[in-house]
Amino acid sequence: MAAQQPEIGPLLEGLAGDEAASAAAKLREMAESSPERITGAPVVAALLTALAKPAAAADAAAALRAVAESSPEAALAVLAAPGALSAIISALGGADGAKPPVDGAPAALAAAARAAGREQARRVADAAGAVPALVRLIDREAPGAQDALNALVEAGAAIEVAAALGELLEPATAPAARRARALLLSQPLALPEVAVDALAICAANTAKLRVRVAALEALLAAAAAEMANRPELCAACKKPGSDQDKLRPCAGCAGGPAGRILYHAGCQRGDWARHRTYCRAAAAVAAAAAPAAASAPAAAAAAGGSN
């Protein structure tokens, strides 16, 4: 060990004064080596304030990330600190993107939102400007932004994320986008229109691959959540399965995006005229949407995973 650990008190004073840069660098070092020393409301508050000081901001963000990653309680202390959300949103560039984003701020938010739990992540998603700021950073391929948005999606903010993604992009005109839109608005998915528009726009915008992937992930999460809330019923006769007559996913579309297009053994044939269009569109969208990510599971399903 080269140097002995510095005291916290003088570092906090330095952070508030002229020595913010070196104080932030030392706090970052401490947070990354022994995060248990960087606890308590005054330290968290000082680091959050330092996010607004250009010379100290990146180190403060890295320190906050290390603190958030150290324990759920520490992550909660970061996100629940007074003024934390506005300080973090500001460090992401602000709701309107007017400020330069702080390096490491998206990663710090991702770590905090994941570790602090669903309720806190939901609070972040509900804060005005957080989701648009992250979407803007995704568009710039800022490290950690995708991860932060995914954390918010996992906390149930898929619709908000999808809507923000949709607003970022140009209106969609491509046939693939129109198909995707029709598919998602039809039964049995019937997603909210705002989410559908976001997907349609993103599907058309093949250049912005990261944004598209983020939107698709958000919409898959939304679809899965929506479907999970419905009882498992046969898509044809609307009755539940039984031990003698189990429900199985449609083989053509592997049960659709949420795996909930199910049939009794004798029911699918009679429903095919109705389901055919949806089935083919669902299979085509699934294949086109995320070729790299989906190829492995899709191949497995095609090889008999959906029997």
Residues within the interface to Zn ion (CB under 5 A): 234, 236-237, 250, 252-253, 264, 267, 279
Which residue lies nearer to Zn ion by CB, 218 or 253?
A: 253
Which residue lies nearer to Zn ion by CB, 194 or 237?
A: 237
Q: Which residue has the tokens 């969609």?
A: 172
b/e code 56-68 from CB counts within 10 Å (16+ = b): bbbbbbbbbbbbb
At closest approach, how far in Å is the CB of 228 from Zn ion?
A: 19
At closest approach, how far in Å is the CB of 217 from Zn ion?
A: 22
At closest approach, how far in Å is the CB of 92 from Zn ion?
A: 41
At closest approach, how far in Å is the CB of 281 from Zn ion?
A: 10
Which residue lies nearer to Zn ion by CB, 5 or 277?
A: 277
DSSP state string for 254-294: TTTTTT--EE-TTTHHHHHHHHHHHHHHHHHHHHHH-HHHH
Cα 256 to Cα 37: distance, rounded to the nearest angstrom: 49
Which residue lies nearer to Zn ion by CB, 192 or 241?
A: 241
Nearest to 79 by CA among 29, 103, 44: 44
At closest approach, how far in Å is the CB of 264 from Zn ion?
A: 4
Cα 187 to Cα 273: distance, rounded to the nearest angstrom: 14
Which residue lies nearer to Zn ion by CB, 211 or 261?
A: 261
Contacts of 203 (CB under 8 A, 6+ apart): 172, 174, 176, 177, 180, 212, 216, 285, 288, 289
- Contact criterion met (CB below 8 Å) for 112 and 64: yes
Instruction: Tell me how far the alpha carbon of residue 295 is from its chain's centroid.
Output: 21
At closest approach, how far in Å is the CB of 183 from Zn ion?
A: 12
Report helix, strand or coil for 248.
strand
Q: Which residue has the tokens 């602000």?
A: 94
Which residue lies nearer to Zn ion by CB, 169 or 234?
A: 234
